Structure 1
Amino acid sequence: MSSLKEQIDTERLPRHIAIIMDGNGRWAQEKGKDRLYGHFHGVESVRDIVEGCAELGVGYLTLYAFSTENWDRPAYEVTGLMELLVETIRKETATLNKNNIKLHVIGDHSMLPENAKQALKESLDMTSTNTGLHLIMALSYSSRWELVNAVQRIASDVELGTIKAADVNQDTLQRYLSTSEFPDPELMIRTSGEYRISNFLLYQLAYAELYFTPVRWPDFRKENLYEAILDFQGRERRFGKTSAQVKSETNLNS
């Protein structure tokens, strides 16, 4: 049986894919295991999907690894997640370099433990010259935090006279977001059957195609990724225009 990969039009790949990696805890509980067991197995899915995106030629992949709200989870789970984060980063950095993948991190890093900050800094430095897939980890991230932070910085620069309040527009806000150097996601995937955005890239997902799957994150593999991309390629992206307008523009450009 041929892989779904062969059906993908590599000329029409989403430039940027964002994923809410949901379902680790429930996956573990369904197997009678501790929630951390699910997080541990979720790492294999991260490895597989990063590899899949790099192989296809996707430019940017953002993974929602840990939200600011996740700090409110039981202390043992948060501690375990941070230890897993440090261990995984240190173990996977060589693989990122081997595959020419550049790591980026967005979020409120001040809340991270020192060993996590150090591991991230080392990996960011070691992969900084890579030119392949941009892997963006959203750690201690929430979109509301990001937007408030951006508005505060804009207000500060207005007070300093660096910019004028009357000149603030969408492009201004875009420059102050933590994702300013990346294109907006075109495809957002959420695993585990939940139909929510959960405070993830609220501004950036304005025109993204949303794809929800019941598959728990530890079971999500390349074939599931290919399904999502094929679904994306089967949609008509109108950006507020009519279907007739889009078809007319497509015919003119073909």
Structure 2
Amino acid sequence: MQVDEFNPMVGLEGRASLLTNLGKALEANPQFFGQDARPGNLIDFLQASSIKEGSTQRVSVAPLWAALIEGLSPIWPATRTMLGGISLGDVWPCSALNASSKAEGDNLVPFHKLTGWITYSLLEPMEKILGWKFEGVEDMTGLPEYRNGGLLVDFGVLTLRPNALSPHFYPDPKSTIPLLPPSHPAIVEWRAMTVIELDRIADAIRQKLGITAAELTLAQVLESATWKGGREIARKKRPETGGPPIDIESDGTVF
């Protein structure tokens, strides 16, 4: 590989582990990936639940999401949040919900950022190449990652509470950028608010332009506005790194 001390890759071990576990997940879920354990067999799985209307193949996004959530669940680190003996992946307890929680799991916030990213990435080529029409895409959320979330912090929409973090979360004495684990309450709340604000941003843009959600999807807003905007404002504010205003300790599965 091209990775060395001069060209590092964040979370390399975690990324390698994901690939190793991916093979096991494909073999363990033939209902989604076929007896030969190939990702492309998802096409057959989705087609079986689709509806043919004239020349249009209508496919619900729900079976695709279910296949990715259930079929790829074995790839996530076993150290993640567990519920009912199952590792939930990108799901984290939120301390702000503890007071209102009545049952086990009520304080958990599901993000599934990488699964959402995969889903968005698969929808477009399947629609363009296969001519399918996916329905229910509006039920998907925005991606709670450092570019979208960083945009909100850099523009002052979201801010850390004064003195919310102890000094040891600032490992570089020359930097004001904190470094936090993904389980830290500030990160969980930041990501949760990012999902909420992305919906609000998309609605505001549509209202400004006088168009509907069908004409400007959330995925289009993410790609052309918030993610790109987050990268550009980060480069402007931190030209030496172009990094986010809050760093997350990444193992290659959360970033």
Higher relative contact order (CA 8 A, sep 6+): 1
TM-score for both structures, normalised by structure 2: 0.29
